[in-house]
Amino acid sequence: MEKVYLDNAATTRVRATVIDKMQEALSNHYGNPSSTHSFGRSAKTAIESARKAIAKYMNAHPSEIIFTSGGTEADNMILRSAVRDLGVQSIISSKIEHHAVLHTVEDLEKEFGIAVQFVDLDSLGNPRLSHLEELLKRDDSRKLVSLMHVSNEIGNMLDIEMVCRLCQDHDALFHSDTVQSIGHYPWDVNKVPVDFMTAAAHKFHGPKGVGFAYIRKNTGLKPLILGGSQERGFRAGTESFHNIVGLEAAFRASYDNLEEETAYVADLKKYFIENLKKEIPAAKFNGNSGNMDKSTYTLVNVCLPIDPQKALMLLFHLDIKGIACSKGSACQSGSDSGSHVLNEILSEEDLKKPSLRFSFSKYNTKEELDYVVGVLKEFVAD
């Protein structure tokens, strides 16, 4: 039986070089980074080296990088602190954001009574920037815009530079969940002046349980987790040293090999789209995911022409065949309510059909994609 992993938007295989770095850290640098003896100092030095390296790749200042347990914590930290500490009275977002943003915004609305407004979407799930501008002009309240750069479900890419300009023109803060794009696209925070961004190492071949928040200098955010003075006092708690070392190694590898690996993965996606169109002509690509120019090169979301009753067995069938992919996002795999993203953009007819997300990495091959398309074609025709 083939074993094909096409769920890289959920999490990625860890690079061998990253594992080596983490094993070395666990074996030889076991001191507490807050301790003043040599064991602690060596760990602390490595953490600060990781911070500087990440900042350099992003043209940021090291103090703007705060290590967290991942993207969800970073999103919560930024959004909650912005309301609590920066006087944000209104948050503008979209209904297809990751739940790390949506649920946090809903909670802030209840707790602090802030106004929550959602920007209109077009039929493919793209925020209408003309409506965003209308919302920014609507009143004089202190506003924060929270829109993801790359959709984790349908792969749509936000015109992030335009959103930055709109926010600057109207004196609004801008937070972007960049979990699906950091490690996959180059960043220069001076050219794209986002106020806040988030990252998770396991999305770019690093370990799970570690990520970072980018928080632009002098924004005035204060810590949510109190205790010690770790992370320049912004996030208390003993640092997950081996994970931070792994994050740095994965980050470096992603950007040192970015051009080559981007071209390889984009070619896989193009090949998959072409084969699927050829073998299953009635298949539809959700959002912009079938458009190589308007979506990320890492994933497609496909609506398949399968009867709803038969569709109940699709993921089970694929698993039996050794194929890993997602129905919606992995974060929702335990929910029977369906994808909130697809519920916003698909017709009632297409919502009755199964939609699958296939996401690619440097470890996939065209031979694997041939196998997957063959299995899908057989299931659809059966």
pLDDT of residue 55 exceeding 90, the answer is yes
C-alpha 49 chain-centroid distance? 24
Which residue segment(s) compose the domain that 302 sits in? 4-12+258-381
pLDDT given for residue 218 in this prediction: 86
User: Which segments within 185-264 are labelled E, that is strand?
Assistant: 196-200, 211-215
Annotated catalytic residue, options 164, 167, 303, 331: 331
Residues 152 and 285 in one domain: no
User: With pLDDT > 90 as the criterion, what percentage of the chain qualifies?
Assistant: 90
Residues 120 and 208 in one domain: yes
Outline where DSSP puts E strands in 209-318.
211-215, 284-285, 299-303
pTM score of the predicted model: 0.94
Residue 381 pLDDT more than 70?
yes
* pLDDT at residue number 159: 98
Burial of 42 (0-12, 13-18, 19+ CB in 10 A): middle
Confidence check: pLDDT of 220 > 90:
no
Report yes or no: 328 and 339 within 8 Å, Cβ to Cβ: yes
Considering its fold, how many domains does the chain have in total? 2
To the query of whether residue 167 is one of the catalytic residues in this protein, the response is no
Q: How far apart, in whole angstroms, are the C-alpha atoms of residue 320 and residue 315?
A: 9
Give the residue from 231, 256, 281 where a domain finishes: 256
Same-domain check for residues 230 and 273: no
Task: Based on the fold, state whether residues 312 and 236 are members of the same structural domain.
Answer: no
139, 76: one domain: yes
What average pLDDT score do residues 265-277 get?
98
- pLDDT of residue 328 exceeding 70, the answer is no
- Asked whether residue 227 falls in the same domain as residue 265, the answer is no
**Range scoring the smallest mean pLDDT among 33-42, 74-83, 114-123, 215-224:** 215-224
The pair of structure tokens assigned to 248 is 């740095």
In this predicted structure, the answer to whether residue 99 has a pLDDT above a threshold of 90 is: yes
Which of 224, 241, 256 finishes a domain?
256
d(C-alpha 244, C-alpha 246), whole Å = 5
pLDDT exceeds cutoff 50 at 334: no
**What average pLDDT does the chain have?**
95
> Which of these, 103, 97, 99, lies nearest to 125 by C-alpha position?
97
Average pLDDT on 108-121 reads 97
Residue 199, token pair as written in the block? 């990252």
Reported as a pLDDT band with limits 50, 70 and 90, residue 221 is: confident
What would the mean pLDDT of 146-173 be, rounded to a whole number? Answer: 98
Residues 262 and 251 in one domain: no
What pLDDT is recorded for position 291? 98
Q: Determine the 3-state secondary structure of 379 from DSSP.
A: helix
